[in-house]
Amino acid sequence: MSRRKVWGIEREILEMINQAARETYPREFVAAMRAEGGIIYELVLLPGSISSDYSATFPLFNLPIDFSVVGSVHSHPGPSNQPSGEDLHLFGSFGSTHIITCLPYDMRSWRCYDRSGRPVELEVV
């Protein structure tokens, strides 16, 4: 069985995602993610991002022309990390790897999805 192009995330980045989600609660946190060697190692905060109590968006035209950008991450202000219809639209717009974290924003409250919204395993390294 071969690995996906993106198969892991650095623990430090996942902790940073959850910390940002806690700090922006009840608003959603949103960012893009950068990977190298199959491992997500950096968050990319985009100018023009908008966050509210029920959604978070960023203008895709502000994404850098950078093939190391592999997808998005955002938080949900409730206990569900399941993608909404809007999330699925974003997932299909760019990238192969998307993360949603939810309350209580810890190491067990996140989930990774592919561009079609199917759950995928992401190893924490």
Known catalytic residues are 28
Closest Cα partner for 78 from 101, 108, 50?
101
Give residue 113's Cα distance to chain centre.
9
- Both tokens of 32, joined, read 């893009």
DSSP 28: P
